[in-house]
Amino acid sequence: MESLRTIEIIGTAAFSIAGTFAAMKKRLDIFGTFIIAFVTALGGGTLRDVLIGEVPVKWLFEFSAGFVVLVSTIVGLSFRSLISNYHNVLLFFDSIGLGFFTLVGIQTGMSLNMHPVSCVALGTITACFGGVIRDISLSNIPLIFQKEIYATTCILGGAVFFILLKLDVPKIPVEITCLVTIVVFRLLSVKFNWHLPRIWKTRKPSS
């Protein structure tokens, strides 16, 4: 439980900072920036909890998550003048959040004795859908649907998690390997421009 809380805090902080920089790119005001940071950080977990019936959602009663978002937003805003490349900062914190929140979602599924496939689905939803809501709110095409490998990274990390677990690797190394796999794979895939095959080679698509 305590370990769950720590990874939740790190994931929330990372996604809040990613959301703050995404909002800055669109010139939102301070309050709009906070809301975007909030939905980026808590949107995926909220969708997960609604889908599994874990309502009322926790952040309506416990303010720790909202507090982490607030502090992270302020930190992100404070450091903006030191940063010359918003996009790289966004990418870095987004990758951290992706790893930690995939793990949070997998653990949520395991605590409900769900099938590994369901656990990985919950991990992917937790990690990816905050960013989807953020991108739709900012009128961007969601990152998840663009050419970059995104949700696939979460599924890969989830597969690593359950394969190692089957091999009787202890829980802490399994979690760390899952985390590192996702963060590193995500960063490498952007740096080297890896992408999945597209399906429109045979013709020029319409509109």
Residues that bind its own copies (CB under 8 A): 24-33, 35-36, 46, 50-53, 55-57, 60-61, 63, 77, 80-81, 86-87, 114-115, 117-118, 121-122, 132, 136-139, 141-142, 144-147, 149, 151-152, 195-200, 202-203, 205-207
Q: Is the Cβ of residue 9 or residue 116 nearer to its own copies in the bound state?
A: 116
Chain centre to alpha carbon of residue 18: 10
Whether the CB-CB separation of 106 and 154 falls below 8 Å is answered with: no
Instruction: Give Cα separations from 60 to 42, 63, 71, 92, 108 (angstroms).
Output: 11, 7, 18, 29, 19
Report, in Å, the least distance between residue 203 CB and its own copies: 8
Q: Is the Cβ of residue 141 or residue 172 nearer to its own copies in the bound state?
A: 141
Report, in Å, the least distance between residue 105 CB and its own copies: 11
Report, in Å, the least distance between residue 187 CB and its own copies: 19
**In this structure, which amino acid lies at residue 136?**
I
Residues 6+ positions from 20 with CB-CB distance below 8 Å: 33, 36, 37, 72, 73, 76, 77
Report, in Å, the least distance between residue 86 CB and its own copies: 6
Q: Is the Cβ of residue 30 or residue 176 nearer to its own copies in the bound state?
A: 30
Q: Is the Cβ of residue 148 or residue 169 nearer to its own copies in the bound state?
A: 148
- Within 10 angstroms of residue 33's Cβ, the number of other Cβ atoms is 22
Residues 6+ positions from 21 with CB-CB distance below 8 Å: 76, 80, 86, 89, 90, 93
Q: Is the Cβ of residue 170 or residue 206 nearer to its own copies in the bound state?
A: 206
Report, in Å, the least distance between residue 52 CB and its own copies: 4
